[in-house]
Amino acid sequence: MKELKVFDQKLYVIAQAIADTIVPSGGAFQPGARDVDAALLFDNYLDQFGKLPLKLVKSALYMLQYVPLLTRLRSFTAMGPQQRLRYLEGWENSRFATKRNLFLMLKMLILMPFYSDDAITQAMKYRPACLRPDDCPYCESMGQEQTK
Amino acid sequence: MLLTYNDINKDVVETPDVCIIGSGAGGAVMADVLSGAGLDVVVMEEGSYYTKERYSKYKPIESLKILYRDYGSTVIMGKATIILPLGRAIGGTTVVNSGTCFRTPEEVLEDWADTYGVVKASPKEMEPYFERVENTISVVTITPEGLGKNGLIFKRGADALGLSNGMLRHNMINCNGCGRCAFGCPHDAKQAVHLNFIPSAMKKGARFYANAKAERLVIDAGRVKQVRGSIVNERTGNRLYGMTVSPKLLVLSAGTIYTPYILQKNNIRLSPELGKNLTIHPAARITSFFDELIEGYKGIPQGNFVDAYASEGIMLEGIFVPPEIALPVIQAVGIEGKKRAHEYDNLAAFGVMVSDKNSSGTVRPGLDNSPFITYKLHPYDLKKLIKGIAVASEIFFAAGAKSVDPGVYGIKEFTSPSDIAQMFTRRLKANDFEMMAFHPLGTARMGELAGHSVVDSFGMARGLENLFISDGSIFPTSLGVNPQITIMSFSMRNAEYIVDNKKRFLT
Ligand SMILES: Cc1cc2nc3c(=O)[nH]c(=O)nc-3n(C[C@H](O)[C@H](O)[C@H](O)COP(=O)(O)OP(=O)(O)OC[C@H]3O[C@@H](n4cnc5c(N)ncnc54)[C@H](O)[C@@H]3O)c2cc1C
Ligand code: SF4
């Protein structure tokens, strides 16, 4: 069982709510953020982040959580699923580049480990493979199939 | 000899003829030529030593952590935020680059001579160096079979529009087409410098220290007397032991960002131009969805190009990345985002990069013990980027695309060629683009005009007798093509200059 390395419980809950909205369970392939604990994967991926970028990530998480208190009178985690989705779409499509970039940074850091997870690649039926069908140490060591 | 932090259990003290900081395109070639001339060479490399067996074990996102600086996301600030991946390993950025090889365009060499007074670097004078470098790193032209469908589709579109295009030249032997070039080639097919110049230098006696970070340069009476640094833990970066090198000559090959940074941190100014004139080849990735199965990860990710607009400073080159890198940037969240992600096998992608002769940036010491990089994209260069993205979009439609995502804020996707006109009718600004850059150059530019250059035509620093610079930082302008051959060839030439003037520099 992996443990949190950089977030406290509070940040973990915020990260979980955001991840769950970005990649919910169901749809084109079944597993979503909750099924693979994407918030934990996100936390663990940051274990070698520099101090300053880590501060930025944590601040961005807090901003996403608390900015809606001003505009919607409730924090992100207190919103329902549809409201959360619309709120994040608002960040993704904001006319302010800084807001868009902060969201893109979080989205990338959540989705990179998510789409790297074996359960997700299997669910998506993604199998990296090379063009040459002969012996391929990379494919073998990654447990991947070769294309014949 | 190659030592890593694992092999070291006490402070390191060295007194070689030459100390080289950085083992990438510039440093590796320098080490090979100097050690070949009988000089005692020590190379300090902050990054680790990785072999194909080690790369194979890592997923791409792990490779970003270990083979790159800042998880591959070094940031350039400015009106637009631009991501600048920088390699950090024995072999430098050549370990993670795409393997594309271009000689320096003749008009660029001529411009350097005419405008910056660079001597002895005409196309004819550089020719033998290009040839030797290309032979050493095994440069070949890719065949269409190596492309994979992502490249073939783009070729089909370019041919349909009658646009000049071709196959790229790469440094590779027996490529498997596994699409992992940017994460360390697991087959040792890509001939990065840790497979040729570095072993060759080691055979001649050069000592390479991995996990050896140079920090302080001690100056005495107009000369670099000592380099002080640390042997660091591979994973944490924490200091384990000290390292002190007292060379007769120091060569800085820490790359375009870290070479000026090291000098600035040590208050060595050399010239008012140090850290300025940064060019980066701003780049964008255009993605497109097709009905047909593409599986773009099979094949060489950067195998072909479209150079129809090269004379305008616009190059289109292949690019394809695994899902964990490609899917997070798709503009959609929730169930819609998952739907798009699930179409990964039908996704095609291609890159646009522009020659930024009018724009420039700066490197200076920032907070957090890292450089602060800024860049101002000139409207003229922005126009080139817009045109490049429009051309790539047209090519995708000509190849049969269902939709094209130009990676521009406010445009979700083009669903027909007529939508592309938006690129010109909207007032697009620099920060509307998801920009990246892979070719930083110019922060310690060479030339013979003292006030305008940081080093002379052979990389010798102005104001310090025993310091040379040999990496991407010395080039006065953007090249318009990928720079590794240029960096290696100039490093070879400059190393020979040092050897030819041994008495002067090494007494
Ligand atoms: C993803 C990617 C793809 C690319 N594709 C291509 C391509 O296809 N073709 C092409 O021509 N170019 C390509 N490039 C660019 C090319 O690889 C670089 O321009 C080239 O390697 C730069 O050479 P350099 O010697 O200036 O620096 P580098 O090769 O970056 O080497 C500098 C080295 O110095 C080390 N260093 C820095 N500071 C210190 C310190 N304080 N102490 C010790 N060591 C230090 C670094 O760790 C690094 O290993 C690509 C770049 C990237 C990021
Ligand atoms: S595509 Fe070829 S050069 Fe690139 S990583 Fe795979 S085998 Fe190596």
Whether B76 is in a domain gets the answer no
Whether A37 is in a domain gets the answer yes
User: What is the predicted pLDDT for the residue at B198?
Assistant: 98
Whether B383 is in a domain gets the answer yes
Among residues of chain B, what percentage have pLDDT more than 70? Answer: 100
pLDDT digits (tens, 9 = 90+) for B51-81: 988 887 889 999 999 999 999 999 999 989 9
Quote ipTM for the complex: 0.90
Which of the pair, A148 or B328, is modelled with greater confidence?
A: B328
The answer on B342 and B286 residing in a single domain is yes
Closest Cα in chain A, distance from residue B237 (Å): 9
Which of the pair, A143 or B410, is modelled with greater confidence?
A: B410
Is B187's CB within 8 Å of A49's CB? no
- For residue B99, the ligand 2 atom closest to its alpha carbon is 3
CATH at residue B453: 3.50.50.60
Whether A146 is in a domain gets the answer no
Within 13 A of B171's CA, how many CA atoms are on the CB side? Answer: 33
Contacts of A135-138 with CB under 8 Å at 24 or more apart are A136/B176, A136/B178, A136/B187, A137/B52, A137/B53, A137/B56, A137/B186, A137/B187, A138/B55, A138/B56, A138/B176, A138/B178, A138/B180, A138/B186, A138/B187
Asked if B145 is an interface residue toward chain A (Cβ–Cβ < 8 A), one would say yes
The answer on B445 and B331 residing in a single domain is no
Ligand approaching nearest to the C-alpha of B214: 1
Whether A45 is in a domain gets the answer yes
The answer on B376 and B245 residing in a single domain is no
Closest Cα in chain A, distance from residue B256 (Å): 21
Whether A72 is in a domain gets the answer yes
Count of domains for chain A: 1
B457 is in which domain, residue-wise? 2-49+89-97+124-136+192-274+441-505
Whether B373 is in a domain gets the answer yes
User: What is the predicted pLDDT for the residue at B197?
Assistant: 98
Phi, psi of B230, deg, nearest 5: -135, 145
The answer on B311 and B429 residing in a single domain is yes
H or E stretch covering B306: strand B304-306
Contacts of B498-506 with CB under 8 Å at 24 or more apart are B498/B18, B498/B34, B498/B249, B498/B458, B498/B468, B499/B33, B499/B34, B499/B37, B499/B39, B502/B37, B502/B39, B505/B248, B505/B249, B505/B465, B505/B466, B506/B17, B506/B18, B506/B39, B506/B248, B506/B249
Q: Which of B56, B235, B237 sits opposite A141 (nearest CB)?
A: B56
Across residues B120-124, what is the average pLDDT? 98
The answer on B400 and B432 residing in a single domain is yes
Whether B238 is in a domain gets the answer yes
User: What is the predicted pLDDT for the residue at B412?
Assistant: 86
Whether B214 is in a domain gets the answer yes
Is B345's CB within 8 Å of A126's CB? yes
Whether A43 is in a domain gets the answer yes
Give the domain-ending residue among B389, B414, B437.
Answer: B437
Instruction: Identify the closest residue of chain A to B334 by CA–CA distance.
Output: A22
CATH at residue B423: 3.30.410
Whether B267 is in a domain gets the answer yes
The answer on B493 and B461 residing in a single domain is yes
Whether B210 is in a domain gets the answer yes
pLDDT digits (tens, 9 = 90+) for A88-147: 999 999 999 999 999 999 999 999 999 999 999 999 988 777 787 666 666 655 544 433
Who's near B311: CB < 8 A, 6+ residues apart? none
> Which site among A132, A136, A140 would you substitute to test the B interface, given the most B Cβ atoms closer than 10 Å to its Cβ?
A132
Tell how far the Cα of B480 is from the centroid of ligand 2, in angstroms.
24
Check if B92 has its Cβ closer than 6 Å to any atom of ligand 1. yes
The answer on B166 and B227 residing in a single domain is no
Partners of residue A93 in chain B, C-beta under 8 Å: 331
pLDDT at B433 over 60: yes
Distance CA B51, CA A122 (A): 28
Closest Cα in chain B, distance from residue A128 (Å): 7
Confidence of residue B410 (pLDDT cuts 50, 70, 90): confident
Is A124's CB within 8 Å of B177's CB? no
User: What is the predicted pLDDT for the residue at A138?
Assistant: 62
The answer on B430 and B445 residing in a single domain is no
pLDDT at A64 over 80: yes
With the most atoms of ligand 1 within 8 angstroms of its CB, the residue from B97, B108, B256, B317 to mutate is: B97
Whether A91 is in a domain gets the answer yes
The answer on B490 and B352 residing in a single domain is no
User: What is the predicted pLDDT for the residue at A1?
Assistant: 56
Ligand approaching nearest to the C-alpha of B185: 2
The answer on B421 and B291 residing in a single domain is yes
The answer on B245 and B339 residing in a single domain is no
The answer on B464 and B357 residing in a single domain is no
Is B71's CB within 8 Å of A26's CB? no
Q: What is the dihedral of CA A81, A86, A88, A92, to 10 degrees?
A: 150
Asked if B255 is an interface residue toward chain A (Cβ–Cβ < 8 A), one would say no
Question: Is B452 among the residues known to form the active site?
Answer: no
Partners of residue A97 in chain B, C-beta under 8 Å: 80-81, 409, 431-432
DSSP state of B291: S
Q: Which amino acid is at A146?
A: Q
Tell how far the Cα of B24 is from the centroid of ligand 1, in angstroms.
5
Is A126's CB within 8 Å of B323's CB? yes
A46 is in which domain, residue-wise? 9-116
Distance CA A137, CA B339 (A): 32
DSSP state of B71: G
Is B81's CB within 8 Å of A97's CB? yes
- For residue B180, the ligand 2 atom closest to its alpha carbon is 5
Whether A27 is in a domain gets the answer yes
Instruction: Identify the closest residue of chain B to A140 by CA–CA distance.
Output: B56
Whether B113 is in a domain gets the answer no
Tell how far the Cα of B146 is from the centroid of ligand 2, in angstroms.
10
Phi, psi of B263, deg, nearest 5: -65, -45
Tell how far the Cα of B183 is from the centroid of ligand 2, in angstroms.
9
Across residues B6-18, what is the average pLDDT? 97
Count of domains for chain B: 2
Whether A122 is in a domain gets the answer no
